[in-house]
């Protein structure tokens, strides 16, 4: 069930990446964020209620980070709230996500999954920079990074897991996607010194386009 949720996280990241780039109406994206946020909140509740070990609870707890992010985005977009609160929440989520990444690598010897978590750490950190600190020159780069991670960290992994082929994915495959993401992010950031004000939501009067 968590794998199905991961697949739909890819969908909402795709929509929110386009939202950062000014290609999707904020309220329209807000509705879809509520759908996925509700799903990613219900799933961990179900998993925790049926968990038999602390490790199972630990594994389910991380899903709440996504669920509450999308609920925050959805409500913020529909109500027109400023994005700074979401930006600071993203910083907290980035720190916790880093903990999940290290835990997967060190405790569970699952480097592949740990690297996914560390990529989400980077994504939430970018959201913090744009939405809370107002580093608007990274808005377009954040949009492209969100679009890329929609596929490399969620849609493709989710589908591969559903096919039962995740064991064939190596850390080397993930490192390759990380390298590609960094190259695209850096290229867009360097060539976009001042994004259009309506592209994203770092300003108080613009809606909240973000997710992870």
Domain boundary assignment for the chain? 2-191
- Token output for 212: 């992870």
The angle, 0 to 180 degrees and rounded to 10, between the axes of the packed helices 54-61 and 26-49 is 180
User: Is the per-residue pLDDT at 209 higher than 50?
Assistant: no
Using CB atoms within 10 Å of the CB of residue 168, give its burial: 0 to 12 exposed, 13 to 18 middle, 19+ buried. Answer: exposed
Please, what is the average pLDDT of the chain? 91
pTM: 0.89
Per-residue pLDDT tens digits for 163-175: 999 999 999 999 9
- Token output for 177: 């996607």
Percent of the chain clearing pLDDT 70 (strictly above): 90
When pLDDT is cut at 50, 70 and 90, the band that residue 193 belongs to is low
User: Is the per-residue pLDDT at 162 higher than 80?
Assistant: yes
Per-residue pLDDT tens digits for 16-48: 999 999 999 999 999 999 999 999 999 999 999
Per-residue pLDDT tens digits for 67-105: 999 999 999 999 999 999 999 999 999 999 999 999 999
The pLDDT value recorded for residue 1 is 54
The pLDDT value recorded for residue 2 is 85
Per-residue pLDDT tens digits for 63-73: 999 999 999 99
The pLDDT value recorded for residue 161 is 96
Per-residue pLDDT tens digits for 119-128: 999 999 999 9
CA–CA separation, 32 and 146 (whole Å): 16
When pLDDT is cut at 50, 70 and 90, the band that residue 195 belongs to is very low
**b vs e for 79-114, b when ≥16 Cβ sit within 10 Å of the residue's Cβ?**
eebbbbebbebbbebbebbbebbebbbeeeebbbbb
The pLDDT value recorded for residue 90 is 98
Helix, strand, or coil (residue 209): coil
The pLDDT value recorded for residue 44 is 96
Q: Are residues 162 and 2 in contact, defined by beta-carbon separation less than 8 angstroms? A: no
Q: Are residues 2 and 47 in contact, defined by beta-carbon separation less than 8 angstroms? A: yes
Domain spanning 2-191: which CATH class is it, in words? mainly alpha
């Amino acid at each position: 069930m968590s794998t199905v949720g991961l697949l739909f996280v890819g969908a909402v990241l795709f929509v929110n990446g386009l939202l950062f780039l000014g290609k999707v109406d904020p309220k329209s994206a807000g509705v879809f964020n509520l759908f996925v946020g509700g799903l990613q909140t219900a799933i961990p509740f179900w998993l925790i209620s049926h968990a038999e070990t602390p490790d199972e609870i630990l594994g389910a707890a991380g899903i709440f980070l996504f669920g509450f992010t999308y609920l925050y985005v959805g409500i913020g977009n529909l109500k027109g709230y400023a994005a700074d609160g979401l930006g600071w929440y993203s910083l907290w989520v980035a720190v916790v996500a880093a903990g999940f990444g290290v835990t997967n690598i060190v405790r569970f010897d699952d480097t592949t999954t740990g690297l996914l978590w560390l990529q989400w750490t980077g994504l939430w950190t970018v959201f913090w920079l744009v939405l809370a600190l107002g580093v608007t020159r990274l808005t377009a780069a954040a949009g492209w990074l969100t679009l890329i991670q929609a596929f490399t960290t969620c849609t493709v992994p989710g589908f591969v897991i559903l096919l039962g082929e995740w064991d064939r994915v190596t850390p080397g495959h993930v490192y390759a996607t990380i390298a590609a993401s960094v190259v695209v992010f850096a290229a867009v950031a360097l060539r976009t010194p001042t994004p259009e004000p309506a592209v994203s939501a770092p300003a108080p009067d613009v809606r909240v386009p973000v997710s992870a």
